[in-house]
Structure 1
């Protein structure tokens, strides 16, 4: 079954505007031409795609299915055009990265720097997201590569372990806990906390562990930036729990101490993922290959997150 791109484009316009006239205006064509194209599509697929109502249209289940696949077709065409135009412009590669804060803060800048030193004409876009948004972006084709944690369910994508991470507690130097070499969650559960945003995996896992102890977290402030959290700790507005390590601690505010959280659940893997390695662009495969052994990326990827549940 072959589909005409013009007909698919008109169908998407009608589905999005829910009105033949508005769709015709958007596509700069006659209403009769739009109606004819939709009728031809319905004849081609052998079923009704939309119901004509007095004040517009509504999609049938078959219409919703076609809309989903048509959008995928146009998204792939846009990606193809973008990549080919990059080649024409001499960029020779374009990679869209979604990443959680921990990866962006600790490891990703070095990765990008090393990659661009070898492939300086590659165009790389980086967006900071929650873990779930990273996975959703990969599934939707909005991101080419994602960096997220093993706390995030990742069904439907290919992913590999990349780095290790550990939750640590940030306190100011004169805090009663500052002299400790490590802390347990019971040591801090009653402290006033500076929390990350509510949808982050760190927030979810801390709340879950507090409930296990029969406690409720005392979160006085919430901010999305790790650097901002460290600044607030330095001002003695509360302590914070962040996924940082000994390397990252040097990038935080000088007025804080970073103390490891000695809990098994505080350890996690940082993962790198793509929607489909086999369909990835050469630039994406090269980036993945720079992070992992070639045979691991090509043949040993995981496609379901059996690691743990969470969000960022």
Structure 2
């Protein structure tokens, strides 16, 4: 015997309206429906689920625990319907998908442009938005539903996110050509800890790890300037206003500025993973899954590392 409950969308919509206004009359007015019809729909829902969903109080409506549960799931249903309608409208308009990407600077500078270019060569009508953010803002954007895909580093706490290893990078030191360290092929953090530095914004993962490593050496970093752009940092280095530490080991000096040298740090902690993540792979749009499929082996995309950690 099939015991699956089949809910009517009109009844669910009326239920949500009543729950949100906490008043049958107000909900009926919003939905352009008679109060008696709204009350009848709610009663039918309660009969269907086999328990009371609302308490009729003198001054309005109060949800029971079962009512709160139904409200949560009903809202999810309508959000998914809106997402479906938006995506199908995109197909009808020839866009064939919309992807919102939040990314840290390192991914945007080193790898992401190639990824986007390759994807758009196969799906040229996809609409892609890219916003540069700090690692924490990338994760928060994914959790809030503001971003569909996020690129961040393994240094960033990522609870609640499904993610996969994607690339690796290495912190490197930017110096001007006549700087005493410019002739070196590699550097340790002790070589630069006393230098005047140009730092990224205070909330960046790079800033946090450099400050932590300086404290481990009993030092305090001399941050003369802070800017958020890698290119701006390189410009300031070229003007000999300080050195900088950035995850740009694979970027040619001339890409940032012809007046700087890029020298890798040899510290083990200077190496990190770049991750790609989503809030919920199972709920991701076909466009997002296709993008991830281009980045990752199929079996890896199905089982993200972040999901395993949360279980």
State the TM-score, normalized to the length of structure 1: 0.77
Distance in structure 2 (CA, Å) of the matches to 1:147 and 1:27: 42
Structure 2 vs 1, CA of residues 151 and 159 (structure 1 numbering), >3 Å: closer, same or farther? same
Does the CA contact (< 8 Å) of 2:185 and 2:264 recur in 1? yes
Q: Deviation at 1:15?
A: 8.8
Does the CA contact (< 8 Å) of 1:10 and 1:34 recur in 2? yes
Structure 2 vs 1, CA of residues 178 and 121 (structure 1 numbering), >3 Å: closer, same or farther? same
Structure 2 vs 1, CA of residues 86 and 158 (structure 1 numbering), >3 Å: closer, same or farther? same
- Structure 1 vs Structure 2 CA RMSD: 4.3
Q: Deviation at 1:242?
A: 0.6
Instruction: List runs of 5+ in structure 1 lacking aligned partners.
Output: 299-307
Does the CA contact (< 8 Å) of 1:289 and 1:297 recur in 2? yes
Does the CA contact (< 8 Å) of 1:204 and 1:311 recur in 2? no
Does the CA contact (< 8 Å) of 1:131 and 1:148 recur in 2? yes
Q: Deviation at 1:263?
A: 0.5
2:218 to 207, 214, 219: 214
Structure 2 vs 1, CA of residues 183 and 116 (structure 1 numbering), >3 Å: closer, same or farther? same
Q: Deviations over 1:87-128 (max 9, x none)?
A: 111122222211111111111111111111111121111111
Does the CA contact (< 8 Å) of 2:110 and 2:248 recur in 1? yes
Q: Deviations over 1:267-301 (max 9, x none)?
A: 01111122232332222222112112222223xxx
Q: How many residues align?
A: 303
Please say which structure displays the higher CA radius of gyration: 2
Distance in structure 1 (CA, Å) of the matches to 2:174 and 2:233: 9
Q: Deviations over 1:46-77 (max 9, x none)?
A: 99999999999999998887776565444433
1:225 is the counterpart of 2:224: no
Instruction: List runs of 5+ in structure 2 lacking aligned partners.
Output: none
Q: Deviations over 1:221-276 (max 9, x none)?
A: 11111111111111222111111123353410111111111100000111112223
Q: Deviation at 1:176?
A: 1.8
State the TM-score, normalized to the length of structure 2: 0.77
Which residue of 1 is the match for residue 84 of structure 2?
80
Counterpart secondary structure, 1:268: strand
Between 1 and 2, higher relative CO (CA 8 Å, sep ≥ 6) is seen in 1
Structure 2 vs 1, CA of residues 245 and 20 (structure 1 numbering), >3 Å: closer, same or farther? farther
Does the CA contact (< 8 Å) of 1:153 and 1:310 recur in 2? no
Counterpart secondary structure, 1:309: helix
